[in-house]
């Protein structure tokens, strides 16, 4: 994985500290052209990996990148799925089968019927595979070296102790998409224990890592101990704690853990992208 990953929270009005800031950002990025201006800025200064949800606007971004392979040579997507709000809204409005038809087309409905009784028997693994295939349709022909399972699902599975789903997800991503499975969580130490217990060794885990313990279930001390002593591929997110920590202090703290493989951040201006990139690179030396 690249050292620096560019995230997408700012494009969709997500800010864990300020609803007002979230609304402002959402208005700023109302269409794909606005988003592409920022992605172009990140790309042109050397950031090549976009860690994103599967929001409808991301499908538009994927189409733009796919249509200009020379312009976006080396551009990689790291999708995170499922995008829970998209499915929740669709199911509310159209029902489960209607939502499947909307996102996957008739071929997914036929696959569900032909593939047995996934929907009837509530076969979670079967449904999971169908949803992955639906989400991945937007990235056909594009580079997706790592595919993440979002924390809304990861942490639910942790709470229910459904270890088998982690194994099935990991195997499916490797076998069908020839990619590495990644896991996003709000409880990195517990997830690492569970993944290792079910035979998923040296996993890619993305979690909040910051100086004030923001969104770090289990506590900052346990996170620091895990980062120092355990073998896995950590990806740090929420390093600024939604603006509660100044960039210099935040990045110095995260870069102090030499085994953190990648840092993901979002920004909505060229100056902030450049500042963050330069701070990360200067703290790597």
For the segment 77-107, what is each residue's pLDDT rounded down to a tens digit? 999 998 877 666 666 777 766 666 665 545 5
**Nearest Cα to Cα of residue 248 among 273, 279, 211:** 279
How far apart are alpha carbons 169 and 256 in whole angstroms? 32
**In the chain, what percentage of residues exceed pLDDT 70?**
82
Residue carrying the six token digits 């996993």: 203
The neighbour count for residue 280, using CB atoms within 10 Å, is 19
- For the ranges 9-18, 59-68, 252-261, the lowest mean pLDDT is seen at 9-18
Half-sphere exposure of 8 (CA within 13 A, CB side): 22
- pLDDT(120) > 50: no
CA distance 136 to 182: 15
Residue 264: predicted pLDDT: 98
Q: Which two tokens stand for residue 86?
A: 């998209």
Q: Is residue 125 scored above 70 in pLDDT?
A: yes
Q: Which pair of structure tokens corresponds to residue 27?
A: 């208005």
Give pLDDT tens digits for 184-195.
999 999 999 999
Question: Does residue 108 or residue 248 have the better pLDDT?
Answer: 248
pLDDT value for 100: 60
User: Above 70 in pLDDT, residue 227?
Assistant: yes
Q: How far is the C-alpha of 203 from the C-alpha of 191, rounded, in Å?
A: 10
Q: Is the pLDDT of residue 134 over 90?
A: no
Rounded to 10 deg, the angle between the 124-136 and 84-104 helix axes is 80
């Amino acid at each position: 994985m690249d050292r620096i990953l560019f995230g997408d929270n700012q494009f969709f009005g997500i800010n864990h500290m300020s609803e007002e800031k979230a609304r402002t950002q959402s208005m700023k990025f109302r269409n794909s052209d606005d988003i592409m201006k920022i992605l172009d800025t990140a790309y042109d200064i050397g950031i090549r990996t976009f860690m994103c949800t599967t929001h409808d606007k991301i499908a538009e971004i994927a189409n733009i990148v796919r249509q200009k392979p020379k312009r976006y040579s080396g551009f990689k997507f790291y999708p995170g799925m499922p995008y829970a709000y998209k499915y929740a809204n669709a199911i509310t409005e159209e029902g489960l089968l209607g939502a499947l038809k909307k996102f996957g087309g008739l071929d997914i409905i036929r696959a569900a019927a032909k593939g047995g009784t996934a929907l009837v028997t509530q076969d979670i693994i079967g449904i999971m595979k169908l949803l992955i295939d639906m989400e991945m349709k937007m990235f056909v022909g594009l580079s997706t070296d790592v595919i993440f399972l979002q924390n809304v699902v990861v942490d639910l599975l942790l709470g229910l102790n459904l270890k088998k789903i982690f194994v099935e997800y990991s195997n499916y991503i490797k076998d069908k998409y020839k990619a590495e499975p990644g896991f996003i969580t709000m409880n990195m130490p517990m997830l690492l224990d569970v993944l290792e217990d079910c035979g998923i060794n040296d996993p890619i885990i993305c979690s909040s890592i910051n100086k004030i313990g923001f969104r770090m279930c289990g506590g900052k001390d346990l996170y620091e101990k895990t980062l120092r002593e355990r073998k896995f591929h950590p990806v740090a997110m929420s390093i600024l704690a939604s603006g509660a920590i100044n960039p210099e202090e935040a990045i110095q703290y995260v870069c102090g853990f030499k085994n953190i493989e990648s840092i993901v951040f979002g920004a909505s201006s060229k100056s902030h992208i450049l500042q963050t990139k330069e701070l990360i690179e200067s703290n790597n030396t």
